[in-house]
Structure 1
Amino acid sequence: MKKSTSLSNILQLVIPEEKLRPILEELNYVDVGRKFTVYDLLLFLGEAAFQQWKGYRDGVQRMALSGLSSVNHSTLSKKAKDVPYELFKRLLNVMIGLCNRKTKRKLGIPKELLIVDSTTISVGLGRLPWAPIKGEKAGVKLHAGIIGDRMELHKVTETTGKEHDLNSCKDLLDSQYILVADRSYGKHKLFDLYQAREDRQYFVIRLHNNTTFTNPISRHRKRPFSGSIEQDLTCQLGKKKALSENRFRVVILKDPKGKPVILATNLHWYSPEGIANIYKKRWQIEVFFRWIKQHLNIPRLFGTTENAVYGQLYMALLVYVLLKFLFEQGNATVHFSAKLTFADFDRLFTLQTLPLEWRIYLADAADIITRI
């Protein structure tokens, strides 16, 4: 039972080796490995993220126990350096398409939230000289969008740590959702672009406290504001060259410490309290980043090249998507007395001490995958 419920066994059901071939052909990559192939690397990185191995050398000692092909440290390191990380990025998108619930929408206004932000993984400059940040530090960024409430990973892209978040935002947009973001994404000219798009991008984005409101007009309201709301108005944002072409709605509230929170949006039919509640959902992406860093070994970078670093990070995110899917499907399948939290599922699965009903469910993984 233990072997049949290992992560690598389930990965092989979800992503059989033949799925890699057309992608590798598109990337013009020829796998010349015999003892250790690209597919072996994929399974290694998956188990390394799941079991939080410390690096290539540590993984070499644990591979056989996880049912993986044994190989020496040098071969493993060279393979990770050689395989283009675009392969793992595409496989992540395949996994997201397989495991995330399909959004069924009618024509109309989107209601679900797409929460975007980035997280930086930093190391010493000597390890990643191609990705300097400041001083003696280097690092890379993962820019992610998750579906609010469901905590499903929707889109991801990567940059070096110096890259501004705004430059990656275009890769995360999806007009089927309301974009929710912090001040790093609050550029007025982008708001005009969102408004001008044929498939308008609705958004709730925090502004800097020194933002200029040009020609402000307070919105009429019969009842006093509730909660921490202080103002609700429409205006153009910025001044001179930075002045927005369109008028946008601005909702101003106070955070628990009494500091102002200024939100810009093009959702004119929501109450100001509704706009504030949408922005409060932004904390979910902080929870997401904290979880993957604590549970998927993301801060511990094994290699030093772009392929090795980004390949490891994309495989860790792929494991997150798969675990989230297995957890949600399992909780909907097992008896209510056997239901688990996501944290407990991850911990018990890693230790191979899941309750019997869960082990039976995972042993039937082939049927789970065919129902995706």
Structure 2
Amino acid sequence: MNKYTPFLAVFKQVLTPEEVQMVTGQTKDYVDRGTKMTVGLLLDYFVQACYHKWDGFRQSARLGPNFDLPEIHYSTLSGKAGEVPYEIFKRIFQLLVKKCNRQTRRHLNLPKDLLLIDSTTVTAANSRMPWASYKKFRGGIKLHVALSQGQRLPVNVEESIAKRNDAPFGEVLADTDYILVQDRAYGKISRLDQYVLQGQSFVIRLKDNLHLVKPRNLQRPAEGETEIVRDMTCYIGQGKCQSAQRHRVVEFENDRGEVVRVVTDLRKESAHVIAEIYKARWEIEVFFRWIKQHLNVPCLFGTTENAVYSQLFVALAVYVLLRRVYDEIHPNVPAFAQLTLWEFMQHWRIFSLPLEWQVQLSLLRNKSILGIISIP
């Protein structure tokens, strides 16, 4: 891998054409009958369009041959994107996530990594997404994401139209191998009791109007910089909606001086650590902002459900591999040559990576990308 190695070549080394064919062949009710315009070629075009920020099928068809892609008419691209079930690209994304999974140092010395759960909305003119009507003149879809705080990678993603409520997806994305960190949209009282019974650790913000019944203060020494207002156990809610179990609730002030109230099953950690865990949820907001700014996510090419979701799952797959390669190289580059993820991507696009990064990329090839990325 030298300074002229394109990103698509790395993508195809990690996720081989044979694996793409395997995933396609496992899809019910769909047979890829294309001879030239295949699912694999559509994936290549989506990867390049996302990585180079092309603005639609027309520009993709025009610029594709400049990046070693076969010449294809834009209408053929559009037709194929609308035809191929987006579940294929969703499974391709999931396969890439498994390959890029790695052990990370635990944040705050916790026994489990944090799983940050939230959603982001992508909108377009109502005429472009009539199947996902959102507001008066806008259509919209949501990506519900579970982001590993340690790896800074999405480990699971579910799609829906924008009108769907976030709360049910909190359960779908839950994983007992992690500590869930969620905003108040996911704080359903019955679900808190269920998580405790399932052994699912969590730190979830409570709505301000929820009643706390029979509070009992916990006497613990203050530590850390966060201003802790109260640390207690109590029942949550009232009447038929009251929790069946006592839960620990921590109240603290955020950076704006507002009191934030979170519920958790963690009993041994200090209130300061609980507050820091919830503050880590901001990283998923940074992730959403990053993919929207740098991976062309808001610029939807197609108008069908298949085309829209396919493009978004490929964009997430591009982020996963880009982040994985960056995290492998970054610790080995001298401080004076450090780049941010965005700078790394920009330099790689135009083959202008600093020499220090080129050397590490070459070493990465010598190790073999497939060798350093775990494959279950």
Q: TM-score range by the shorter chain?
A: over 0.9
Shift of 1:145: 1.2
Shift of 1:228: 1.7
What residue number does 2:23 align with?
23
Shift of 1:18: 1.0
Shift of 1:153: 1.8
Q: Tell whether the 8 Å contact from 1:11 to 1:43 is kept in structure 2 after alignment.
A: no
Q: Tell whether the 8 Å contact from 1:127 to 1:304 is kept in structure 2 after alignment.
A: yes
| Alignment CA distance shift 1:371-1:277 (3 Å) | closer
Shift of 1:339: 3.7
Aligned length: 368
Distance in 2, Cα, partners of 1:132 & 1:102 = 41
Q: Tell whether the 8 Å contact from 2:231 to 2:248 is kept in structure 1 after alignment.
A: yes
Q: Show the 5 A alignment for 1:17-166.
A: 17-28=17-28, 29-102=30-103, 110-166=111-167
Shift of 1:251: 0.7
In structure 1, what residue type is equivalent to 2:25? E
Q: Secondary structure of 2:124's match?
A: strand
Q: Secondary structure of 1:157's match?
A: strand
Q: Tell whether the 8 Å contact from 1:24 to 1:87 is kept in structure 2 after alignment.
A: yes
Distance in 1, Cα, partners of 2:121 & 2:259 = 26
In structure 1, what residue type is equivalent to 2:97? I
Shifted more, 297-306 versus 32-41: the winner is 32-41
Distance in 2, Cα, partners of 1:224 & 1:35 = 64
| Alignment CA distance shift 1:333-1:368 (3 Å) | farther
- CA-atom RMSD in angstroms: 2.2
Q: TM-score, normalised by structure 1?
A: 0.93
Q: Tell whether the 8 Å contact from 1:13 to 1:365 is kept in structure 2 after alignment.
A: no
Distance in 2, Cα, partners of 1:255 & 1:246 = 27
2:194 is equivalent to residue 196 of structure 1: no
Q: Show the 5 A alignment for 1:1-372.
A: 4-28=4-28, 29-102=30-103, 110-197=111-198, 200-221=199-220, 227-334=226-333, 337-359=336-358, 361-362=360-361, 365=365, 367-372=368-373
Unaligned runs of 5+ in 2: none
- Percent identity for Structure 1 against Structure 2: 41
Q: Tell whether the 8 Å contact from 2:2 to 2:361 is kept in structure 1 after alignment.
A: no
Q: Secondary structure of 2:370's match?
A: helix
Q: Tell whether the 8 Å contact from 1:83 to 1:307 is kept in structure 2 after alignment.
A: yes
Shift of 1:255: 2.3
Q: Tell whether the 8 Å contact from 1:110 to 1:176 is kept in structure 2 after alignment.
A: no
Q: Tell whether the 8 Å contact from 1:110 to 1:178 is kept in structure 2 after alignment.
A: no
Measured against aligned partners, the alpha-carbon deviations of 1:169-220 in whole angstroms (never above 9, x if no partner) come to: 22211111110011111111110110111xx111001011111011211112
Q: Secondary structure of 2:20's match?
A: helix
Q: Secondary structure of 1:36's match?
A: coil
Q: Secondary structure of 1:275's match?
A: helix
Shift of 1:336: 5.4
Shifted more, 263-272 versus 324-333: the winner is 324-333
Q: Tell whether the 8 Å contact from 1:3 to 1:9 is kept in structure 2 after alignment.
A: no
